[in-house]
Amino acid sequence: MKQFSVPNIYRSPLISAVKQQRRQDDKLKKDFTPTLLNLGPLQIYLARHFGFCYGVENAIEIAFTTIDENPGKRIFLLSEMIHNPQVNADLVERGVQFLQDTYGNQLIPFEEITKEDVVIIPAFGTTLEIEKLLNEKGIATAKYNTTCPFVEKVWNRSEQIAEKGYSIVVHGKPRHEETRATFSHASLHTPTVVVNDMKETVELAKYITGEKPAEEFYHEFGGRYSEGFDITKHLQKIGVVNQTTQLASDTQAISDYLKSVIIRHYKLTAENISERFADTRDTLCYATNDNQSAVTGMLETAADLAIVIGGHNSSNSSHLVELCENKLPTYFIDSAERLISKTIIESRNWQSKELAIKENYLPNRSPLKILVTSGASCPDAVVEKVIRKLAGFYGVEEKVDEITEAIF
């Protein structure tokens, strides 16, 4: 896989050494057991896969190169390039301005942008409408486009099945940048609707079977279907694609459910299901799959708690928290600063996004076992800082250096 030029401030000697060792020992990536960092009274179990993915490193390289190559120019990002507070803060510090927030609300009017400006498209991609607007201003969007290749793969797959007459059901968070972009690209080619979760999918299926009157659809799914969507026709032949950072198991469950409904309703068999349902499993992101599988493997290890590191609006990080919370006490933080002391932590609720103080989060046990992972947009340097902060609480920070040197 391509190696990217990412600023050293995001790298970590410890994490780089651990990841390199795991790659050597597990070239086929079939071992999802965590890596033990034995610090004596503190045992850290690092997930097999975590941190920057291909798409994130690609976006960071393009963004920082763009800044270096355009001195004196105004440089804008359509929205947060990735969902990581440190990376976005670093870009702002270097003069980059955001045109929109993460939900598409305008921060700087497009009218203020000129053809002399540089506009970077974030890793999530953007809508065709915004791309057209920028191109009409003479802005070279293709030159500074950091859209993740795996997001583009979803767009391409949507177009392919659209050509065969399928409508598209997008599994994604309706307000998320990537979902809005995927919806825009898919709906250019075919009728498209967005579902947030299985609960909404069950309701959508009732329009396939006729259990719900057609007119209710337009209210229930308002703002989430393409122009001209006809609920009486456009769910008769469908394919499911996803926001790539959703839980892969959730997307698969949604796809399997809709498939089963269509099989029953149209009395199909395994041989002719493709007449009405497209196979789109190849749109699931490799990094999302690897990170989620690694958490599943990590959770097989007996531990006292889990810490997930990532931006509060990072979808893939939130889903890692969701997986961990099903098994043991879990804390969602975005930096080592959230570890206030050995007894107090600031943790964020992955659903409400509310930040709250938690007391006595580290049980009085020896050795204390903590599972640690991070989202795909979290720098390895942040993970190391969290590990060092925890080690400092137990007076064993020097052991982190010893482990790094031993691996190297």
CATH fold for domain 8-53+287-407: Cobalt-precorrin-4 Transmethylase; domain 1 (3.40.1010)
> What per-residue confidence (pLDDT) applies to 408?
60
Question: According to the model, what pLDDT value does residue 197 have?
Answer: 96
Whether 293 has a pLDDT exceeding 80, the answer reads yes
Q: What is the pLDDT of residue 282?
A: 64
Helices (H), 144-247: 149-162, 177-189, 198-209, 214-220
The structural domains of the chain, with segments of one domain joined by +, span 8-53+287-407, 54-136, 149-284
What is the arithmetic mean of pLDDT over 119-140? 94
What is the distance, to the nearest Å, from the Cα of residue 301 to the centroid of all Cα atoms in its chain?
A: 25
How confident is the model over 201-220, as pLDDT tens digits? 999 999 999 999 999 999 99
Q: What confidence score (pLDDT) does residue 154 get?
A: 95
- The reported pLDDT for the residue numbered 288 is 85
Question: 54-136 is classed in which CATH architecture?
Answer: 3-Layer(aba) Sandwich (3.40)
Measure the CA–CA gap between 326 and 356, rounded to whole angstroms: 20
Closest CA to 307 of 241, 252, 370: 370
Cβ atoms < 10 Å from Cβ of 360: 10
* pLDDT tens figures, 7-47: 999 999 999 999 999 999 999 888 999 999 999 999 999 99
**CATH number 2.70.70.10 is the correct assignment for the domain at 149-284:** no
- Write the pLDDT tens digit of every residue in 304-360: 999 999 999 898 999 999 999 999 999 999 999 999 999 999 999 999 999 999 999
Mean pLDDT, the chain, rounded, equals 94
> What's the pLDDT at 287?
84
Cα(305)–Cα(291) distance, integer angstroms: 18
To the query of whether residue 405 is one of the catalytic residues in this protein, the response is no
Distances (CA, A) of 82 to 10, 19, 52: 14, 22, 10
Among residues 178, 200, 322, 384, the one annotated as catalytic is 178
Residues with Cβ within 8 Å of 243's Cβ and at least 6 positions away in sequence, in order, are 170, 171, 172, 173, 176, 178, 179, 182, 315
Q: Residue 5: its pLDDT value, please?
A: 86
Q: Tell me the pLDDT band of 152, cut-offs 50, 70 and 90.
A: very high
Q: Which residues contact 88 (CB under 8 A, 6 or more apart)?
A: 80, 81, 82, 98
| Longest Cα–Cα distance in the chain | 66
DSSP 334: S
Instruction: Please determine whether the domains at 54-136 and 149-284 fall in the same fold group of CATH.
Output: no
pLDDT exceeds 90 at position 3: no
Is residue 82 scored above 90 in pLDDT? no
